[in-house]
Amino acid sequence: MSDALLTPEALEAALRQIGAERYHNLHPFHRLLHEGRLNRGQVQAWALNRYYYQSRIPLKDAALMSRVEDPALRREWRRRIEDHDGTNEGDGGINRWLALTDGLGLRRADVEAGRGILPATRFAVDAYVRFVRDRSLLEAVASSLTELFSPNIISERVSGMLRHYDFISEDTLRYFGHRLSQAPRDSDFALDYVKREARTRQEQEQVLEALRFKCDVLWAQLDALYLAYVEPGMVPPGGFRPDNTA
């Protein structure tokens, strides 16, 4: 690594390159999910495990905010918590994710308790929360930058799942419609932030490393789903076992 500072444009290009090579749209489990090649039980396993990720996002955003001294940055970041928790009982992203798990026939109490989630889901997601809590604010903000790439995968997922699965409806997928406007707003802000605040080459490298780490967090969750529910079908002790594979 040279120690020459990258221009903000070169830093952005390097971030986008990481997404092009490592984002979870490339994972074989997502290919199967979006192309209609999973059965209902496998889709249930995905939605159940992914609920744990959703449920921890406000915790990691609160951990980030607890270290922010600038009211303007807190004002910006707290919207993320409102997006997930809603401002009233019954709205917000977590609730919309539960509409998906309800629609798939999972019991709400099991989903909310994380009953049957895979060990690797818990380890990967908890590692993300810890990373945001323990690393610098710059790295914490940078680790959210996977969202730069999420609108494409969400569009692909919604159209693919509606086309291929008769147990999926527009209503059960309404979580994703909201993300299509929230994610670009959030990631544009985070991208401007890291381009402005990474003032040395070392800090720029930390930003790039944070994004690689986050891609690994997402990828590891899908590896675990693939091993347990696709090939070789090795559900760990205590793991969710679909009773309907039709």
Ligand X SMILES: O=C(O)c1cc(C(=O)O)c2c(n1)C(=O)C(=O)c1cc(C(=O)O)[nH]c1-2
Residues making contact with ligand X (CB under 6 A): 57, 144, 146-147, 150, 153-154, 179, 218
Least separation in angstroms between CB 205 and ligand X:
20
Least separation in angstroms between CB 5 and ligand X:
26
Least separation in angstroms between CB 221 and ligand X:
10
- The amino acid that residue 117 corresponds to is I
CB closer to ligand X, 217 vs 228:
217
Residue of minimal CB distance from ligand X?
A: 146
119, containing H or E segment:
helix 119-134
| Measured distance CA(40)–CA(47) in Å, rounded | 10
* Token reading at 119: 């060990």
Write the CB contacts of 233 (distance below 8 Å, at least 6 apart in sequence).
Answer: none
Q: At what angle do helices 119-134 and 201-229 cross, to 10 degrees?
A: 170
CB closer to ligand X, 11 vs 85:
85
CB closer to ligand X, 11 vs 218:
218
CB closer to ligand X, 167 vs 189:
189
CB closer to ligand X, 87 vs 201:
87
In contact, 23 and 218? CB cutoff 8 Å: yes
Residues for the chain: how many in total?
Answer: 246
Least separation in angstroms between CB 144 and ligand X:
4
| Measured distance CA(37)–CA(47) in Å, rounded | 15
SS3 call for 101: helix
Least separation in angstroms between CB 150 and ligand X:
4
Least separation in angstroms between CB 146 and ligand X:
3
CB closer to ligand X, 7 vs 155:
155
Output the DSSP codes for 87-99.
SSTT-SHHHHHHH
